[in-house]
Amino acid sequence: MKHNFHQFSLVLFLGFVSFMGFGQANEIRLYGRIAANNTDVADILVVNKNTKESTITDASGSFSLEVNLSDVIQFTAVHLQSREVIISDYIFGQKFIIVELTENVIDLDEVTVTPYNLSGKLSSDLNSLNVEGQFNSSDIRLPNADLKLLSQEERLLLEADRGKYIRYYGTSLVINTHKIINRLSGRTKKLEDRLKREKDLQIENEIVAKFSKQTIAEGLNLPSYQVDGFLTYCLFQEDFFKVSKMDAEEMWKYLESKRDSFRKLN
């Protein structure tokens, strides 16, 4: 009886050790590097969407992060298109990954400066023009003169997602296939993401306008080379949109609240 008890204890112990070993084998430290043609690969935010752990890339685009099999890793930066990578058996076995990211290019409409023989150089053109004070549509009280002009991203999203899914015209039923196709194809979601990125960049510019990068570095005790990475980190926080409604004091407190969590990434 005593002999059987010892055998049972040994089997139980070995099973426990095997279970612990299996659990540890399911988590590894993944090393990786970002590849992007002629584009800065520093300060890219790398997030494990399953564990919520995150880090940022160094100057060479390298990073490391704890991952499990089948975890989803997200790569985001203002100047690059976001990408998600699932940790497959192959990646898990290699413990290393190279992630190719594509530059996020926003096309701008062509600007024509031919009238008045303009050169396109603001400093010289202002001096060469003899223009009296200008008036606008608000001055002569035109209808809807005070309406805010939509940006290019806002116009594209409005066009893609305009109207209701179904409309009734008398006895006829009309289905908005344009809206449905854009939703199903993911075009609407991409435009929403681009619009959010545009608004976040505007907020980031407001921060830099109020506090220079040098002020942010000195006031938050950050190395100057980390300021861009810190701003990128703040930009991808879920509560970043609230910054647009803050005054200068509240905005600074927000930056202070994100400093310590950013330092842990480094």
Q: Is residue 231 part of a domain?
A: yes
Domain assignment present for residue 83? The answer is: yes
Domain annotation covers residue 40: yes
Where is the domain boundary, 71, 100, 129? 100
In a domain, 123, yes or no: no
CA–CA distance, 104 with 83 (Å, rounded to integer): 12
Do 259 and 196 have their domain in common?
A: yes
State whether the Cα torsion 227-228-233-234 is positive or negative.
positive
Average pLDDT estimate for 200-218: 87
Sheet of strand 80-86: strand arrangement = 54-56, 45-48, 72-77, 80-86
Length reported for the chain: 266
Asked if 179 and 89 sit in the same domain, the reply is: no
pLDDT number for residue 129: 54
Q: Establish if 222 belongs to a structural domain.
A: yes
Count of domains for the chain? 2
- pLDDT tens digits for 122-155? 556 556 555 555 555 555 555 554 556 667 777 7
Which residue among 36, 65, 100 closes a domain? 100
Bridge partners of residue 174, in order along the sequence: 167
* Paired tokens of 2: 């005593």
Look at residues 100, 117, 140 and tell me which one is the last residue of a structural domain: 100
Query: Binning pLDDT at 50, 70 and 90, where does residue 172 land?
Result: confident
- Is the same domain home to 159 and 254? yes
| Amino acid letter, 44 | I
**Same domain? 251 vs 157:** yes
Handedness of CA 122, 125, 127, 133 (dihedral sign): negative
Residue 179 belongs to some domain of the structure: yes
- Summarised one tens digit per residue, pLDDT across range 83-119 is 999 999 999 998 999 899 988 765 544 444 455 555 5
What is the C-alpha separation between 199 and 158, in angstroms, rounded?
16
Domain containing 86: what range?
A: 25-100
Q: Are residues 88 and 167 in the same domain?
A: no
Is the pTM for the entire model greater than 0.85?
no
Structure token digits, residue 81: 């298109």
Of 125 and 19, the structure prediction assigns the larger pLDDT to 125
Q: Are 96 and 165 contained in the same domain?
A: no
- The answer to whether residue 57 is domain-embedded is yes
Does residue 160 share a domain with residue 228?
A: yes
Query: Given pLDDT bands bounded at 50, 70 and 90, which one contains residue 255?
Result: very high
Angle between helices 177-185 and 187-210 (to 10 degrees): 70
Residue 1 lies in a domain: no
Report the CATH number at residue 77.
2.60.40.10
